[in-house]
Amino acid sequence: MAKITHLSGSWPQWIADNLARGCTPASLVEAMVRDNFEPSFAVKCVYGSVQAPAAAQQSASAGAYQYDTPRLPENVHQIQTNDRLVRVAMRLTQPVLALFENLLAPDECDELVRLSRIKLKRSTIVDPNTGQEAVIPNRSSDGTYFALNEDAFITRLDRRIAEVMHWPVENGEGLQILYYQVGGEYKPHYDYFPPADPGSRPHLARGGQRVSTLVIYLNDVAGGGDTVFPELKLSVTPQKGAAVYFEYCNRQGQVDARTLHGGAPVTAGEKWVATKWMRQGRYG
Ligand code: PD2
Ligand code: ZN
């Protein structure tokens, strides 16, 4: 279905009403993208309607999000974790985003794939209204999870991952593994729970908002499968053992709509990734 790139009917009023009642611009963009709006167009519609106080006028694309000091330290080319030296190959500041190389050894990637293959299930999303897990065509991968510190191998990886994300290991959700075949994709979305969605409430009650994501590539993909950031015009090519990191929730609990991202369709071969989501608080 073609994406919507014009604003008609009750949409302008819907945007105005929801902004007036205090919904964050990011949550409105999220809802519009779910309703098949083209992501950049939705951002323009919503941010074009945001009336920032004169003193706090920011560029329309930055919206009201205030960038804190990044959790990921600036001016660092390498991160020495407990057991591995990880290279910071590239970074952005708004949003905070970085590419890590050499995060996992090839045999660690292979082991995660081997352990996951036997327990894959179709991936789900959180229904924005009910909060229940739902299967949708926008997310056509299979996946599985490892509980935090499930065994010695996972504990070692969880510790290293927490170190590069500069966030407590106990605030992490269990490592999620995703498997995409040719045609498999994850359409652009946010990893945070849109604060205005009723379905976000039960998820926010456990550990609070998600604050950052690490997508780790477990294989080199023969074709497609890039992790794409439409607002940044950025595309990250999967590379075995490397990872893309990004932050999207500041100390005030605001969320950053610039981190809209997706997994582009795989066009050849298969794609395996491991995803770590960090929460504001302990995810117990
Ligand atoms: O597989 C990916 O590249 C991808 C892209 C966007 C994974 C996720 N998001 C995710 O797991 O949230
Ligand atoms: Zn995601």
Quick: pLDDT tens for 151-189: 999 999 999 999 999 999 999 999 999 999 999 999 999
Q: Are 180 and 266 in contact (CB under 8 A)?
A: yes
The tens digit of pLDDT for each residue in 75-108 reads 899 999 999 999 999 999 999 999 999 999 999 9
- 261 CB under 6 A from ligand 1? yes
The response to whether residue 224 sits with its C-beta less than 6 Å from ligand 1 reads no
First to last CA, the chain: 40
Nearest CA to ligand 1 atom 9: 262
Q: Give the separation between CA 99 and CA 90, rounded to whole angstroms.
A: 5
- What's the gap in Å between 21 CA and the centre of ligand 2? 28
CB 145: neighbour CB atoms within 10 A?
Answer: 15
Cβ(241) – ligand 1 distance below 6 Å: no
* 215, 244, 259, best to mutate for ligand 1 pocket (most atoms within 8 Å of CB): 215
Domains of the chain by residue range: 11-62, 78-279
Q: For residue 62, what pLDDT is reported?
A: 38
Ligand nearest to the CA of 186: 1
CA–CA distance, 186 with 91 (Å, rounded to integer): 23
pLDDT-derived band at 132 (thresholds 50, 70, 90) equals confident
The architecture of the domain spanning 78-279 is Sandwich (2.60)
DSSP for residue 234: E
**Averaged over 132-161, what is the pLDDT?**
89
Ligand 1 atom having least distance to the Cα of 215:
7
Indicate whether residue 275 lines ligand 1 (CB < 6 A). yes
Percent of the chain surpassing pLDDT 90: 67
pTM beyond 0.75, yes or no: yes
Instruction: Give the pLDDT band of residue 11 (cuts 50, 70, 90).
Output: confident
Q: Is the CB of 210 under 6 A from ligand 1?
A: no
Residue pair 129/143 in contact (Cβ under 8 Å)? The answer is: no
Which protein residue's CA is at the shortest distance from atom 6 of ligand 1? 262
Shortest-distance atom of ligand 1 to CA 275: 11
Question: How far does the centroid of ligand 1 lie from the alpha carbon of residue 6, in Å?
Answer: 28
